[in-house]
C-alpha cells in the first residue's frame, strides 16, 4: 500500500459536484454510481503528495496505509466531535463502525451518505440529511480515534496500547469535564464548514442509540501548516506560532515522529501499526488581557516579532531561531525541539470563537490538535515544560483535554474503521 | 451620493494584501500609505453592483448612501455582536462611534486598525490585534444598528423611531435572556471568518469601558442569497428556503421594502432616512428529531421537494409556487408574500453550530437576519402568522431575539456612524 491517502487532486473543471453525483429522484441513480467510481479513481494521483494540487473543492482519497486528515495539507475548517458509547453490545458497535466507514467513504468522495438518499421510499427518513447537496467534496477528511475509556468496554482491556496513557494533570489546567475525554472521536476537516458539520451530524445520526456526542468543537483559521514553504497562519493572539511543523511530504519525519512503527508496542498492540496518537486541548485565550498588553511584552512572550514572525534577532519567519537571544520563559524557546531533547509533534490546530462568556469576554482561543507516535515522548514532556515555565501561561488556560489512539488507515472498500482492533485475526 | 457601497471589486491578481499594505516595522509606512490610497480607490467601481465581480478577497466600499452589508451580495461567514453601553457620557460615546468608524473604514479596506500598528511605540498595546495581517479584505462589511434600549440613554428618547418597536412575544418563543436584546449591534460579514472575528474583536477592544459585548454569534453557510439567479444555499434542515429573496441589484424592491424613505417617520425620525430595520433571531433546530422524520413529512413541512428545492407540484426551484397544492400549514405557503398581503423582507441568515448542549444534542440552527423598511409591516405580521400556524414549529425554537435601527451609510471620510442621530444639526 503506497501512501496515497494524503494526495489530493482538485476536481477537474466541470466535474460532477455532490449534486450531480447523488442521483436522487430515481432516474439519476445508475449514472450516479458510474460517476462515483470515476471520481474516486480520480483522487488517486500517485505516490507523491503535491500540495500545489490541494485546491479547495477536490476530494482526498479515503483509503490508505494511514488515515487521511493527519499528514493531509491542513484544510480551512474543523468540526471535531468526541462521543460516549451507549451500547454494551460489541457486535452492534462493530456494525456501527462498518456503517460509519461506508458513510465516510461516500462523504469524503463528495457523495450523500446513501446512494438512494433521495430516490428511496419517502416514508423512511432520508439516508442523508441533505445540507451538503450541491457542495463540492471540499477536501473533507474524516479521522477516527479511540479514547482510553473505550478499552474498558467490549473486552478490549488487553489491547489498550501502553502509549495511550491518561494525560497527567498539568500546572494551570482548568479542565471543564463537559469538554474533556470521550470514548471515541471523529475529526472532520474540510475547506467548507457546512461539509464538515454535515459529516459529523450524519455519523452521529447513524450512531444514534449506540453513541452520543459528548462534546464538539468548531474551528476556523487553521493555526498551523503541513504544507512546506507555506506562510504559517496567525493564531488569535496575532502571532505565527509553530512555524516549523512537519510537512505532509516529509515521509522520514512522519515515520520518525508521527506514525506508530511495527515493533512500537508490546503484546496486543500491533493493531496500531500505521496509526498515531492524538492529543486535543481546548486552550482559551484571555483575549481582553492580551489585547491591552504592550507590543514589546507580546513579542517577548512569544520570542518572535509580531509583524513578520521572525525569531528574536532574526529577519524572517523561517530563519533559524537563536534561542539564547530570547527571554528564558519565551514560548518559542521553551517549545523548540532543541530545548526538549528533539521532541517534535505534528500540529493541526484551529482557532475558535464560541461567542462570549457570562462576563462579556470572548470565549475564543486555540483548539490544539497534535499527532505523535507516542504521547509519552511527545505532548506530555513538552507540556510539562510549557505548563511550568511558559510566559504565555499568563494569557491562556487549558479548559478541555482528550487523548485518542488513531488506528491505521482503511485499506480498501472491504476494510473498516477499527478492524485491526476488533477483528480477532488482527 | 450614488449607491456604490454595494459594489465589489475583486483584488486584481498580485495586488497588495493586508500584509503588504500595513507598513509595520517602520520602513514600510510611507509605501503603505500610498498603496492604501490606491486600494480604496480601486474598490469604487461604478454605480451598478455587479454580483459577478463579487469574488472572495476583494474590498467592499465602506462609504455610501446606505450601509454596506445589507444589499451587498451575501458573504460566506458572519460574526454578529450585540453590545451593552457602559458609559453615561454622551461625548465619550460619540467619540467611540467616531473611532469605530475610522477603524471600520480601514478594516473593510483590508488594513490594520492603526496605520502605525506595528511601527508604533512598543510600550503601548498595538493598535491592531494582528490576527488578520496578511489576509485579504475578504469582502468584509461592518454594519451598525441601534437597539430600542439605546434611546433610553443620552437624551435620545425623542428620536426613537416609531418603527423601532419592541418585538411582541410570539407563540412558541423560548428566549434566552443572555442571547436577546442589546443597546447596539455590529454585523460583520466576510468571506474569511478570521477577518470577521478580527473586526468585532477590535471594535470591542476600542470600545472597552464604553461598551461590552452582551452576546455574539458566529455563522457559516449563508442560508439566503442576495445575488440574482444564484443557487439558494441549503439550511441545516437540508432545504433551500427563501428562494425569492430581494437581490442587491433590485433597486426598486430595495426602495419599496428595505430602505427607510424620506417621509417614513414622524418628527425627529429623519435621521433614519436611507437606513433600515434589522431583526435578528437565533432559531435553534431540533436536529435529531428532524433527522428521524420521513422525507415525505419533511417535504410536506416545507412545501418543497428536498433535492431540487422545487415547490410542490413544480419541477424547478425557481418555478412559481402553486400555494394551494401545499398543505395549509406548509412553511413556503405561509411565508409567501401572497399569503401575507405582499410582505417582503430581505434575508441574510446564516447557519450556526455551537457545539452540543448538556444532553448531547447539536446546538445548531439558523441565525435569522432580516432587513426591512418597517418592522411593523415586515417581520412582526409575518412571524405572527408563522408562529401560530407553521408546521415547521414542531422542529424549531426561537431562542434569541433582537431588533435594531440601522442608520444610513457613512457618506465620506469626514462622516461617522450615528452622525445623523447624535449630531444636533441633523
Cβ distance of B292 and A208 shorter than 8 Å: yes
* Residue of chain A whose Cα is closest to the Cα of B234: A131
ipTM given for this complex: 0.84
Share of chain A above pLDDT 70, in %: 84
Q: Which tens digits make up the pLDDT trace of B292-342?
A: 999 999 999 999 999 889 999 999 988 999 999 999 999 999 999 999 999
Q: How much is the pLDDT for B206?
A: 95
- CA B111, CA B37: separation in Å to the nearest integer? 11
Rounded mean pLDDT, A30-50: 30
Task: Give the dihedral sign, CA B383/B384/B387/B390.
Answer: negative
Read off φ and ψ for residue A240, nearest 5 degrees: -85, 120
**How does residue B116 score in pLDDT terms, banded at 50, 70 and 90?**
low
Q: How much is the pLDDT for B216?
A: 95
**How does residue A189 score in pLDDT terms, banded at 50, 70 and 90?**
very high
Instruction: Identify the burial level of B92 via C-beta atoms within 10 angstroms of its C-beta, where 0-12 means exposed, 13-18 middle and 19 or more buried.
Output: exposed
Q: Nearest 5°: CA angle at B96, between B94 and B99?
A: 115
- CA B59, CA A296: separation in Å to the nearest integer? 31
Helix (H) or strand (E) holding A371: strand A362-372
- CA A315, CA A411: separation in Å to the nearest integer? 45
User: What single string gives the DSSP state of each residue in A133-194?
Assistant: TT---TT-EEEEEE-GGGGGSTT-GGG--TT-PPPPPPTT----GGGS--SEEEEEEESSHH
Cβ distance of A236 and B131 shorter than 8 Å: yes
- CA A254, CA A260: separation in Å to the nearest integer? 10
Residue A340 reports pLDDT greater than 50: yes
Q: Closest by alpha carbon to A279, among A381, A197, A158?
A: A381
Q: How much is the pLDDT for B49?
A: 36
Between A9-23, A182-196, B246-260, B361-375, the lowest mean confidence (pLDDT) is in: A9-23
Residue B388 reports pLDDT greater than 80: yes
**How does residue B10 score in pLDDT terms, banded at 50, 70 and 90?**
very low
Q: Which of B125, B194, B354 sits opposite A291 (nearest CB)?
A: B125
Q: Around Cβ B424, how many Cβ atoms within 10 Å? A: 4
Cβ distance of B216 and A299 shorter than 8 Å: no
Cβ distance of B194 and A130 shorter than 8 Å: no
CA distances from B420 to B254, B275, B276, B424 (A): 21, 11, 14, 8
- CA A238, CA B358: separation in Å to the nearest integer? 32
Length of chain B: 426
pTM given for the model: 0.87
Q: Give the best residue of A118, A126, A299 to mutate against chain B (max B CB count within 10 A).
A: A126
CA distances from A197 to A129, A132, A367 (A): 11, 9, 16
Q: Give the best residue of B234, B299, B366 to mutate against chain A (max A CB count within 10 A).
A: B234
Q: Around Cβ A18, how many Cβ atoms within 10 Å? A: 21
* Residue of chain B whose Cα is closest to the Cα of A215: B356
Residue B278 reports pLDDT greater than 60: yes
Cβ distance of B291 and A205 shorter than 8 Å: yes
Is the minimum CB–CB distance between A221 and chain B shorter than 8 Å? yes
Domain ranges of chain A: 58-421
Share of chain B above pLDDT 90, in %: 71
Instruction: Check if the beta carbon of residue A379 is closer than 8 Å to that of residue A364.
Output: no
Q: How much is the pLDDT for A391?
A: 97
Is the minimum CB–CB distance between B293 and chain A shorter than 8 Å? yes
Q: Around Cβ A52, how many Cβ atoms within 10 Å? A: 10
Q: How much is the pLDDT for B32?
A: 30
Q: How much is the pLDDT for B265?
A: 83
Residue B171 reports pLDDT greater than 80: yes
Cβ distance of A124 and B236 shorter than 8 Å: no
Is the minimum CB–CB distance between B22 and chain A shorter than 8 Å? yes
Is the minimum CB–CB distance between B263 and chain A shorter than 8 Å? no
- CA B26, CA B122: separation in Å to the nearest integer? 12
Instruction: Check if the beta carbon of residue B112 is closer than 8 Å to that of residue B106.
Output: yes
Residue A421 reports pLDDT greater than 70: yes
**How does residue A5 score in pLDDT terms, banded at 50, 70 and 90?**
very low
Residue B9 reports pLDDT greater than 90: no
For residue A151, how far is the Cα from the chain centroid? 21
Residue A114 reports pLDDT greater than 80: yes
Q: How much is the pLDDT for A29?
A: 30
Quote helix, strand, coil % in chain A, to nearest 5: 30, 20, 50
108-127 in B: which are within 8 Å (CB) of A?
118, 120, 122-126
Half-sphere exposure of A108 (CA within 13 A, CB side): 29
Cβ distance of A360 and B84 shorter than 8 Å: yes
**How does residue A227 score in pLDDT terms, banded at 50, 70 and 90?**
confident
Cβ distance of B360 and A212 shorter than 8 Å: yes
Using an 8 Å CB-CB cutoff, list chain B residues near A124: 294-295
Per-residue b/e over A368-389, b at no fewer than 16 CB within 10 Å?
bbbbbbbbebbbbebbeebbeb
Cβ distance of B221 and A193 shorter than 8 Å: yes
How many Cβ pairs closer than 8 A exist between chain A and B?
198
Residue A145 reports pLDDT greater than 80: yes
Q: How much is the pLDDT for B268?
A: 82
User: Which range has highest mean pLDDT (A62-71, A231-240, B236-245, B256-265)?
Assistant: A62-71
Higher per-residue pLDDT: B333 or A122: B333
Higher per-residue pLDDT: B168 or B355: B168
Give the residues across from A249 on adjacent strands.
none
Higher per-residue pLDDT: A54 or A217: A217
Instruction: Check if the beta carbon of residue B16 is closer than 8 Å to that of residue B33.
Output: no
Q: How much is the pLDDT for B412?
A: 96
Q: How much is the pLDDT for A355?
A: 87
- CA A334, CA A385: separation in Å to the nearest integer? 7
Instruction: Identify the burial level of B249 via C-beta atoms within 10 angstroms of its C-beta, where 0-12 means exposed, 13-18 middle and 19 or more buried.
Output: middle
- Distance to chain B for A59, nearest Cα, Å: 20
- CA A71, CA A155: separation in Å to the nearest integer? 31
Instruction: Check if the beta carbon of residue B16 is closer than 8 Å to that of residue B39.
Output: yes
Cβ distance of B197 and A126 shorter than 8 Å: no
Cβ distance of A130 and B306 shorter than 8 Å: yes
Q: How much is the pLDDT for B125?
A: 83
Rounded mean pLDDT, B118-143: 85
Is the minimum CB–CB distance between B296 and chain A shorter than 8 Å? yes
User: Which range has highest mean pLDDT (A73-77, B265-269, B276-280)?
Assistant: B276-280
Q: Which tens digits make up the pLDDT trace of B54-106?
A: 444 799 999 999 999 999 999 999 999 999 999 999 999 999 999 999 999 99
Q: How much is the pLDDT for B234?
A: 92
Q: How much is the pLDDT for B182?
A: 98
Cβ distance of B130 and A306 shorter than 8 Å: yes
Residue B233 reports pLDDT greater than 90: no
Using an 8 Å CB-CB cutoff, list chain A residues near B358: 178
Rounded mean pLDDT, A234-256: 90
Instruction: Check if the beta carbon of residue A401 is closer than 8 Å to that of residue A280.
Output: yes
Q: Around Cβ B421, how many Cβ atoms within 10 Å? A: 24
**How does residue A20 score in pLDDT terms, banded at 50, 70 and 90?**
very low
Is the minimum CB–CB distance between B17 and chain A shorter than 8 Å? no
Between A26-30, A312-316, B270-274, the lowest mean confidence (pLDDT) is in: A26-30
- Distance to chain A for B89, nearest Cα, Å: 21
Residue A385 reports pLDDT greater than 60: yes
Q: Average model confidence (pLDDT) for chain B?
A: 85
**How does residue A299 score in pLDDT terms, banded at 50, 70 and 90?**
very high
- Distance to chain A for B218, nearest Cα, Å: 7
Task: Give the dihedral sign, CA A334/A339/A343/A344.
Answer: positive
Is the minimum CB–CB distance between B209 and chain A shorter than 8 Å? no
* Residue of chain A whose Cα is closest to the Cα of B195: A221
Q: How much is the pLDDT for A26?
A: 31
Residue A318 reports pLDDT greater than 50: yes
Amino acid at each position: 500500500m503506497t501512501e496515497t491517502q494524503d494526495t489530493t487532486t482538485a476536481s477537474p473543471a466541470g466535474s460532477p459536484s455532490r449534486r450531480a453525483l447523488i442521483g436522487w429522484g430515481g432516474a439519476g441513480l445508475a449514472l450516479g454510481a458510474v460517476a462515483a467510481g470515476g471520481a474516486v479513481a480520480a483522487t488517486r494521483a500517485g505516490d507523491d503528495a503535491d500540495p500545489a494540487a490541494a485546491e479547495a473543492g477536490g476530494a482526498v482519497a479515503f483509503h490508505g496505509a494511514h488515515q487521511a486528515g493527519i499528514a493531509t495539507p491542513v484544510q480551512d475548517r474543523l468540526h471535531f466531535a468526541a462521543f460516549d458509547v451507549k451500547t454494551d453490545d460489541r457486535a452492534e458497535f462493530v456494525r456501527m463502525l462498518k456503517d460509519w466507514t461506508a458513510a465516510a467513504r461516500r462523504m469524503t468522495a463528495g457523495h450523500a451518505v446513501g446512494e438512494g438518499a433521495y430516490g428511496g421510499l419517502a416514508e423512511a427518513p432520508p439516508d442523508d440529511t441533505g445540507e451538503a447537496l450541491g457542495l463540492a467534496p471540499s477536501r473533507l477528511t474524516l479521522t477516527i480515534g479511540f479514547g482510553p475509556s473505550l478499552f474498558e468496554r467490549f473486552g478490549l482491556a488487553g489491547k489498550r496500547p501502553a502509549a495511550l496513557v491518561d494525560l497527567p494533570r498539568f500546572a494551570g489546567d482548568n479542565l471543564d469535564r463537559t469538554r474533556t475525554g470521550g470514548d471515541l472521536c471523529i475529526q472532520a476537516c474540510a475547506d467548507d464548514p457546512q461539509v464538515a458539520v454535515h459529516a459529523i451530524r450524519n455519523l452521529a445520526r447513524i450512531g444514534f442509540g449506540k453513541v452520543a456526542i459528548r462534546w464538539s468543537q468548531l474551528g476556523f483559521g487553521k493555526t498551523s501548516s503541513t504544507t512546506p514553504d507555506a506562510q504559517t497562519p496567525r493564531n488569535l493572539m496575532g502571532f505565527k506560532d509553530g512555524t516549523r511543523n512537519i510537512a505532509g511530504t516529509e515521509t522520514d519525519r512522519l515515520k520518525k515522529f508521527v506514525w506508530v512503527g511495527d515493533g512500537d508496542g508490546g503484546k496486543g498492540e500491533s493493531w496500531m501499526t500505521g496509526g498515531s496518537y492524538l492529543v486535543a486541548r481546548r486552550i482559551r485565550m484571555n483575549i481582553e488581557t492580551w489585547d491591552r498588553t504592550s507590543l514589546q511584552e507580546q513579542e517577548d512572550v512569544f520570542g518572535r516579532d509580531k509583524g513578520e514572525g521572525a525569531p528574536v534577532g532574526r529577519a524572517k519567519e523561517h530563519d533559524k531561531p537563536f534561542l539564547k537571544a530570547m527571554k528564558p520563559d519565551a514560548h518559542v524557546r521553551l517549545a523548540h525541539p532543541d530545548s526538549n531533547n528533539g521532541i517534535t509533534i505534528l500540529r493541526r490546530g484551529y482557532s475558535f470563537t464560541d461567542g462570549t462568556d457570562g462576563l462579556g469576554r470572548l470565549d475564543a482561543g486555540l483548539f490544539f490538535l497534535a499527532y505523535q507516535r507516542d504521547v509519552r515522548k511527545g505532548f506530555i514532556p513538552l507540556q510539562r515544560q510549557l505548563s511550568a515555565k511558559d510566559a504565555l501561561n499568563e494569557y491562556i488556560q487549558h479548559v478541555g483535554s482528550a487523548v485518542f489512539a488513531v488506528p491505521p488507515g482503511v485499506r480498501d472498500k472491504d476494510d473498516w474503521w477499527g478492524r485491526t482492533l476488533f477483528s480477532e485475526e488482527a
